[in-house]
Amino acid sequence: MDSLTHGLTGVLLEEWGGPRSPLALEYIKGKIIPDLADCLVRNGDLWRNPTFAEILAWKLKSQYAYPAAVAAGLSAEILAAAQKTVSPPVVAELDPKEPWRRIFRLWVCEESLPLVEEKTGYPLAYLDVLFLRFKRLRGFLAGHSVSLWECWAQPELREFGFDLLSFLYEFQRALAGEPWFAERLVLEQVLLDAGLSLEVRDLVLLLEVIHTREGEITAGDVARIFEGIWPGVVPARSSKKLGQEERFPSSSGRAEKLVSGAAERLVSGAAERFVDGPVERFGGAAERRVDGQVKGFVSSPVERLVSLGFIRINKSGRLTLSQKSAVTVAPFLAPKFVRQLRLAEDAGEPERAQEILVKLNPEVLLRVMDQVSEGWPPDESFALLRHLIRRVNRRVDLHVLRVLAASPQAVALFEDCLEDRDSLIRAEACAGLGRLGEKSAVFRLIRMLGDPAADVKAGAAEALGRMGSGAAVQALRKLARDYRESSRVRVAAQEAVGRIESRHLLGLNNHVN
């Protein structure tokens, strides 16, 4: 870093004849040079990348007010000086699309643009322009099947340049149509943030292992399961160094056995043996912390993921998924569990299917429920999912009611939920009855217009409007005129009256004709 700082000082203050006032010199030395050095270090493989050179010029223009006519040349000089003073730490990345990949990977992770700026060192002004162009392209593609060349033919898109336009086009197509694309990008970013030289499939397998024995296994258990397979976990003394192709399959089925069957003999150790145990046993895979300081140990893959909040350790020292990791890995795991459910149902074992469901992490369960409701006949999905009500948590209960709204058999379930103590459950039950159009529930929905909760009243009004029941008009009008109610309730009641009257008027016109 010192040699890089010296090289930047030479370029900015000597070769380019920078300002000589004390305040300007202090700003350049105290702010500009450290910030540029940090940006260069963060992007050490991009020093010969043309897009990064452009981004650096944007940084000089937008952050430090260098004239546009000067910024491009100064950017080139800075990169040349960096390459002379410091050997790049890694192989150069020359692909002009690589900086954009890094930006959009962070964006998929729901990072704000200021956080993207902080993590990459790229100026906010450049990021703003980049995402405005992406928004413009998405607007052009919305609802149309358009080729890249048709996009290139548009003058307002051609000004992006072909490299950027083709990247944005390919990214949007993948985001909209490629299964698990966003989730893979999130996992890639997690691996980068954790500094782990693993592949996405490695991380998916780790998360699957933790999910299968959530709250049961420890960091030490994971070390033994993946011993000799992952970097940072000591290989067995007799094993040879594994190549990239054989590293992942060489688990001899240890992780797969844990996922698919009994694993007590694989996970019989205690967490402290991994976290605080001898270095010789785990090859430096653990780190010891004293007063928050690392004392002579290298952190393990699991500990790095824990430090990011991607994996959690509960009070008993056992591993659990965080909400983010569960949401991210759910699409990878859901098809497997749906197949298991199908096999259990076909074998006439509904109890086993129920056991599979209730053991799932709630985030994974939501994804499984979606796939079951979309891919199975309504009567089969209802028979399987109705038993989840009041067995997991409120969020799952609400999701059950939403996905079963296409099942006529769910009427009794919805009516039962009208009496639930939770107002959100009652409101969702009203909405479900409205979507089903169940006429026998009209008078129960009219009664729900007097519920203490505003959400329930609004849901009942919307359901009655959807059903077009003339019997509800008087009660709805009364509710719409009651100024003690919230505006949302009164608007919902008024709109419901309008829908009912429009439907009746349309029916009269059809009868006359």
364 and 396 co-located in one domain: yes
Residue 416 lies in a domain: yes
The torsion angles phi and psi of 486, rounded to 5 degrees, stand at: -70, 160
DSSP state, residue 321: E
Domain termination site, one of 32, 51, 85: 85
pLDDT for position 18: 61
* Residue 428 belongs to a domain: yes
301 and 238 belong to one structural domain: yes
Q: Do residues 232 and 304 share a domain?
A: yes
User: Of 405, 436, 470, which closes a domain?
Assistant: 405
Give the mean model confidence (pLDDT) for residues 435-449: 91
Of residues 27 and 256, more confidently modeled:
27
In a domain, 92, yes or no: no
Residue 503 pLDDT greater than 60, yes or no? yes
pLDDT of residue 289: 40
**183 belongs to a structural domain:** no
Provide the mean pLDDT of the chain. Answer: 82
**Per-residue pLDDT tens over the stretch 267-308:** 333 333 323 333 222 233 333 443 444 333 335 788 889 999
Of 287, 321, 355, which residue sits at a domain end?
A: 321
379 and 488, same domain (yes or no): no
Claim to verify: residue 366 and residue 415 sit in the same structural domain: no
- 292 within domain boundaries: yes
- Give the total number of structural domains in the chain: 5
Q: Whole-angstrom Cα distance, residue 90 to residue 407?
A: 57
Same domain, 376 and 453: no
Q: What is the 3-state secondary structure of 179-213?
A: CCHHHHHHHHHHHHHHCCCCCHHHHHHHHHHHHHC
Helix (H, G, I), strand (E, B) or coil at 153: coil
pLDDT tens for each residue of 102-146: 999 999 998 899 999 999 999 999 999 999 999 999 999 987 889
Question: What is the domain-level CATH number for residue 485?
Answer: 1.25.10.10
Task: Decide if 227 is inside a domain.
Answer: yes
Single pTM value for the model = 0.78
In a domain, 251, yes or no: yes
pLDDT at 226: 76
Residues 187-197 pLDDT 10s: 999 999 988 88
In degrees and rounded to multiples of 5, residue 289 shows phi and psi of -115, 130
Which of 84-98, 329-343, 491-505 has the highest mean predicted lDDT (pLDDT)? 329-343
- Measured CA distances, 14 to 11, 20, 31, 75, 421 (Å): 6, 11, 17, 15, 74
Does 278 lie in the same domain as 259? yes
Note down the domain range covering 20.
Answer: 2-85
The amino acid sitting at 362 is: P
Is residue 100 within 8 A of residue 164, CB to CB? The reply is yes
Taking only the tens place, the pLDDT of each residue in 15-29 is 666 666 778 788 888
3-state helix, strand, coil in the chain (%, to 5): 70, 0, 30
> What pLDDT shows up at residue 444?
93
Question: Is the same domain home to 305 and 195?
Answer: yes
Identify whether residues 458 and 482 lie together within a single domain.
yes
Task: Say if residue 130 is exposed, middle or buried (CB neighbours under 10 Å; 0-12, 13-18, 19+).
Answer: buried
Q: What's the confidence (pLDDT) of residue 443?
A: 93
| 136 lies in the same domain as 207 | no
Q: Could you give the C-alpha distances from 447 to 108, 356, 430, in angstroms and in order?
A: 45, 38, 11
Q: Has residue 28 been placed in a domain? A: yes
Mean pLDDT of 390-409: 92
Please identify which residue in the block is written with the tokens 């700026």. Answer: 117
Q: Tell me: do 306 and 203 sit in the same domain.
A: yes
Residues 148, 205 share a domain: no
Q: Residue 330, class by beta-carbon neighbours within 10 Å (0-12 exposed, 13-18 middle, 19+ buried)? A: buried
Neighbours of 118 (CB within 10 A): 14
* Sign of the CA dihedral running 373, 374, 375, 377: positive
**What is the pLDDT confidence band of residue 505, given thresholds at 50, 70 and 90?**
low
